[in-house]
Structure 1
């Protein structure tokens, strides 16, 4: 994919019940899986697909994004022929119950596209937990001389539909209609990834400037008769983390071996910022079952079916179950935690007990002390 440029753009904005965890960061840098940030998956997928120029559209909470991405060294994007750019952005907008792509964020950064010699643009959300190669989709895009190729997931009858899902209708491989859930549901759900000709994208930007219509998906839908819009399937695991339930689900999914293997043990590695740290210390009383434990932790208690980030301490006699504990947490002695999600630097004193449910976990924001 040497003739494609990548754009990572938040399509969900900050309108989310993840707000407790997004007070000091955007969803792009939300900690995930014991050592990663959400954006690591999309950025790694682009690099692994041979995309050597990537622009990340930041929000007003950009400091954590700059700190995490740096020069792009960990993703091999700090070379003369490969580069990472952090672009100015506002936030995506919400119309009714639907969150859509704000084309104005791309228009404000059109120089980034205009100065590139690449023919196509790969646009993806940053909050997709998946290991995915764009190469097969790009082949479909080129074979059909597509103006736009929308990547979709074929969903099963048991699929739980969300208010902001977008569904695609086909005539053979060509997309003939785009539906939002309130209109019509099909078994082809848009996966928040697309490939679009750069010339078409620039034309749509200029159209948006003239008409005031800034929703990229709406513009594609309106022009389906004149644009060649095709679909490309995503056949593996994918989880779009746009709310607290999906965040919890995606973390717990990592404890399933088949999903963990697909994400982290395939030929497409997921890269992240490297942090030098010492191994975790497990005391004699420690018990860990079906959990992810980051480096630099000290564990004296019991951990069951949970995700524990680096540099956390679990005191003697404490028991953690079905929980997500972010970095540098300090859990005292004889503490009982079940179905909780803790942001960074949370401290829990001795003998405390916090019990949520799978559908309603207890969430503590950064630095809270109980």
Structure 2
């Protein structure tokens, strides 16, 4: 493909509450065996984008560790490669990334040293499958300066949590509001953009001269009347894990057979770093209904309508319902967990009771199982 890829994975999202205290949002576990950034990386690989940069910053240890080898997504260094950029103190700058545009600006050499004519910029916290080649063809046919991938959301959804788009009959974007109080449209930006590389360099350099650091507010919205910015609508599955509730419901979507079939049984595939773990084990007395149980887990109790991540132990007479148990959790005997997200590396003591009465409850138990 005639494009390089940029994945924006550095931001902190306070709406993820306790879940983002130990990891970047783009490293959040998804569907039992994946991280949220795996979907963007897999889309890049499947679209034959061979040179991809990932900009990380906030709580990036586990994310950088996940990205330590490019072989899982087949980014060969001879053809391009996977490049991970973190903020660095230089003679020109001593700042962390002050926004998405600033993240690109501080690594502008990557763009200048590349030769591909186009750039695909995506957020690392979107869950979807997409062939970016089709968006690029649309971008070229429209003679667009920038193309924004967007999606029509249900009318009853709170679309004000996203960037809201209004387009004319030719799909040219006339209005673009970032997280408005009152959304005047149900069409939201998916955080996926295509722009010509030289033009992107020019806009970023001009933005830095004027101390403008946000890609959406200071480039897309600011240039919407000066540049030809078009929307490309998708109808397939797309989700953004912007809040605890979004994260919970996205994982629960993978309990639906049609969603699992779409992501894991239909071409192209979704790739991730593979851990060398044994398959899940179900001991005598285990009762599992409509759940995902990941490798390395041992189940003794009852699990219903839940997603259980890797290396989880569920004790005798436990009852897990409508919950997400993250990696490496030990759940003691006779424990009841319902409508909860249990943080990774937790030890839930025997005879515990956790239930989300009003919304989703995040369970974090401080104990001495892991001594730092």
Normalised to the residue count of structure 2, the TM-score between the two structures is 0.91
Partner of 1:265: 265
Partner of 1:153: 151
Output one character per residue of 1:24-58: Cα deviation in whole Å (capped at 9) or x when no partner: 22111111211111100111111111111100000
127-136 or 36-45, which moves further after superposition?
A: 127-136
What root-mean-square deviation, in Å, do the aligned CA atoms of Structure 1 and Structure 2 show? 1.9
1:67-106 alignment, distance < 5 Å: 67-89=65-87, 102-106=100-104
* 1:6 is aligned to 2:29: no
From the superposition, tell whether residues 74 and 359 of structure 1 become closer, same or farther in structure 2 (CA, over 3 Å).
same
Long gaps (5+) in structure 1: 94-100
SS of the equivalent of 1:9 reads: strand
Long gaps (5+) in structure 2: 88-94
SS of the equivalent of 2:190 reads: strand
- Asked if 2 retains the 8 angstrom alpha-carbon contact of 1:14 and 1:91, the reply is no
Cα distance in 2, alignment partners of residues 244 and 44 from structure 1 = 24
Cα distance, 1:67 vs structure 2 = 0.9
SS of the equivalent of 2:59 reads: coil
From the superposition, tell whether residues 183 and 299 of structure 1 become closer, same or farther in structure 2 (CA, over 3 Å).
closer
From the superposition, tell whether residues 182 and 167 of structure 1 become closer, same or farther in structure 2 (CA, over 3 Å).
farther
* 1:130 is aligned to 2:128: yes
Output one character per residue of 1:89-119: Cα deviation in whole Å (capped at 9) or x when no partner: 47776xxxxxxx5211100000011000011
From the superposition, tell whether residues 60 and 161 of structure 1 become closer, same or farther in structure 2 (CA, over 3 Å).
closer
* 1:211 is aligned to 2:176: no
Cα distance, 1:265 vs structure 2 = 1.7
Partner of 1:20: 18
Cα distance in 1, alignment partners of residues 97 and 343 from structure 2 = 24
- Asked if 1 retains the 8 angstrom alpha-carbon contact of 2:343 and 2:362, the reply is no
- Asked if 2 retains the 8 angstrom alpha-carbon contact of 1:88 and 1:109, the reply is no
- Asked if 2 retains the 8 angstrom alpha-carbon contact of 1:21 and 1:365, the reply is no
Output one character per residue of 1:298-322: Cα deviation in whole Å (capped at 9) or x when no partner: 1110000101011111111111011
- Asked if 2 retains the 8 angstrom alpha-carbon contact of 1:342 and 1:366, the reply is no
From the superposition, tell whether residues 246 and 182 of structure 1 become closer, same or farther in structure 2 (CA, over 3 Å).
same
1:137-148 alignment, distance < 5 Å: 137-148=135-146
SS of the equivalent of 2:288 reads: strand
Cα distance in 2, alignment partners of residues 108 and 65 from structure 1 = 20
Partner of 1:280: 280
Cα distance in 1, alignment partners of residues 3 and 185 from structure 2 = 30
SS of the equivalent of 2:160 reads: coil
Cα distance in 2, alignment partners of residues 8 and 186 from structure 1 = 27
- Asked if 2 retains the 8 angstrom alpha-carbon contact of 1:343 and 1:366, the reply is no
Partner of 1:96: none
* 1:187 is aligned to 2:203: no
SS of the equivalent of 1:235 reads: coil
349-358 or 46-55, which moves further after superposition?
A: 349-358
